[in-house]
Amino acid sequence: MEPSQLPIHRRLQIVFFTLLSSAVLLHATHPIATAILRFLTTHLLLTTVTASVAGVLLLLHLRSRPYPVLLLNYSCFRPPPDRKCTYELANDFVLQSCRFSSSEPVEFMRNIYAKSGLGDETYAPPFMFEEKQTPTLKNAVQEAEEGIFSAVDSLLTKTKVLQEEIDVVIVTCGSFSPSPSICSLIVNRYNLKPDVKTYNLSGMGCSSGVVSIDLAYRILRGGGRKVKNVLVVITESITLNWYEGEERSMLVTNCIFRVGCAAALVTNDPRRRSTAKMELMHSLRTHHGADDSAYRAAFQEEDGKGITGVSLTKDLIRVAGVNLRQHIKILAPRVLPISQLVRYVYSVITMAMSGGEMKPIVPDFMTAFDHICVHTGGKAVIEQVGQVMKLSDLVTEPARMSLNRFGNTSSSLVFYELAYFEAKERVARGDKMWMIAFGTGFKVGSLVWKWLSDSETESDNPWNDCIHKFPLKVW
């Protein structure tokens, strides 16, 4: 290569070392050469020290910078076909196992079920198929083990993550907290390493699936390089939450909640990026429990006869709408394009100038997301979210179909909805997806994902046996 073809920095190096070599040869006989040598050696030392310090600082920065948080994969539990909860099964169970003082509670539940949006292929807990049909702790443990072991077994097989590679286990189960804990059950079953960290989340309702991923995100972002893989198990217990009283607000839970469980592996290991499904871009949790109506919108308590149940008040839908608006005010600046933010700010100014006669516009969140997993808490909840966000039927379709096929599976509901998108092969690399869920307390949680690969239907997808039937015209 000709000298003129060398990069500029290489040519400067040649000049520098040529001068240095000449000065070394001449310094003994010429004072000017001695001065040049002193200057060059001092300059070289400063340059070397400066470069070394800069290199160390850059290395420290790169090592301290958190890796992206990735969803390696997930699995949803699909109970066996003989656990399907048809209308006839639910009706017969109520008539045989419950002792009501009148037929009014039965008619009320029939009416709620007919309007719930649930189909005939949701799943009921094991005790409903036994002769005595009496919920016991043993039945509740059986329900938990069936869902958790199935989901985790499938997940570990797909991801090829070894038990000794799991650094953290997070379990969320709203209202079933046995002793030893469900985390201990998992550690024992899978022989996890002694220094594995475990977390049990409870009392968070349907939002806890999103909340548990948020917790995994924060652990992986702040845990350094020693924490790489977090196993998240998302489940709920129907067995010990069946309400046998006659309070209408508590009977609703019997009609809409069904069996479901999901497991997910979240990692910050950059070597896993090529095989990961999604990257978590944003996570937001808001808690609105300071407001009494929000706090008591879904509340576990005893009825007048001392029977424990979860009361879903008539104010629940309004609370969901109000707190969703507050939540998206915080989320919007993080995700919306500038054009939508400018339009929204302009509408707020216009409202202020009109004395409140005009309302601010609702930003078009579909300019920020390609897909939305809407909380599938019930027909009314989906409709309320669609109304507040001005979402089309196509956008809410996965939520409505998930409610029809699996019912309200509580904390795991957004993952069954995620599986619907994959079964329909609707997501592609680069797509952005928003998961949103509500929970008791009252909480709203959001996860914003970026897809790292095209969707593909996997062998354990819970929709595999029926996706060709959907969407249905059920509403």
Interatomic CA distance for residues 322 and 324, integer angstroms: 5
Closest CA to 249 of 203, 311, 301: 311
Would you state the pLDDT for residue 102? 83
Tokens for 71? 């969803």
Tens-digit pLDDT profile for residues 11-36: 555 655 565 555 555 555 566 666 66
Would you state the pLDDT for residue 61? 47
The position carrying tokens 């909805």 is: 417
Interatomic CA distance for residues 115 and 408, integer angstroms: 14
First-to-last alpha carbon distance for the chain, in angstroms, is 75
Would you state the pLDDT for residue 7? 57
Would you state the pLDDT for residue 49? 61
* Strands (DSSP E) found in 253-408: 261-267, 278-287, 298-302, 308-312, 371-373
Q: How many CA atoms lie within 13 A of 231 on its CB side?
A: 30
The position carrying tokens 């699996």 is: 406
Q: List residues bridging with 445 in a β-sheet.
A: 285, 437
User: Alpha carbon of 7 to those of 1, 10, 12, 43: distances in Å?
Assistant: 11, 5, 9, 22
Torsion of CA 459, 461, 466, 471, to 10 degrees: -140
| Per-residue pLDDT tens digits of the chain, which is 475 residues long | 555 555 555 555 565 556 555 555 555 556 666 666 566 567 666 666 665 665 655 555 445 556 899 999 999 999 999 999 999 998 888 888 777 878 888 999 999 988 899 999 999 999 999 888 889 999 999 999 999 999 999 999 999 999 999 999 999 998 899 999 999 999 999 999 999 999 999 988 899 999 999 999 999 998 667 899 999 999 999 998 888 888 999 999 999 999 999 999 999 999 999 999 999 999 999 999 999 999 999 999 999 899 999 999 888 999 999 999 999 989 999 999 999 988 888 887 888 887 767 777 788 999 999 999 999 989 999 999 999 999 999 999 999 999 999 999 999 999 999 999 999 999 999 999 999 999 998 999 999 999 999 988 889 999 999 999 999 987 6
- For residue 416, which amino acid is it? Y
Q: How many CA atoms lie within 13 A of 274 on its CB side?
A: 1
The DSSP line for 367-389 is: GT-SEEE---S-HHHHHHHHHHH
At residue 308, what are phi and psi to the nearest 5 degrees? -80, 140
Interatomic CA distance for residues 134 and 128, integer angstroms: 8
pTM (2 d.p.): 0.84
Tens-digit pLDDT profile for residues 187-206: 999 999 999 999 999 988 89
- Number of other CB atoms surrounding residue 305 within 10 Å: 9
Residue 118 DSSP code: -
Q: List residues bridging with 308 in a β-sheet.
A: 302
Q: In terms of residues, how long is the chain? A: 475
Tens-digit pLDDT profile for residues 204-260: 889 999 999 999 999 999 866 789 999 999 999 999 888 888 899 999 999 999 999
Q: Which residues are catalytic?
A: 206, 287, 371, 375, 408
Residue 38 DSSP code: H
Would you state the pLDDT for residue 179? 92
Q: List residues bridging with 74 in a β-sheet.
A: 264
Torsion sign across C-alpha atoms 162, 163, 166, 170? positive
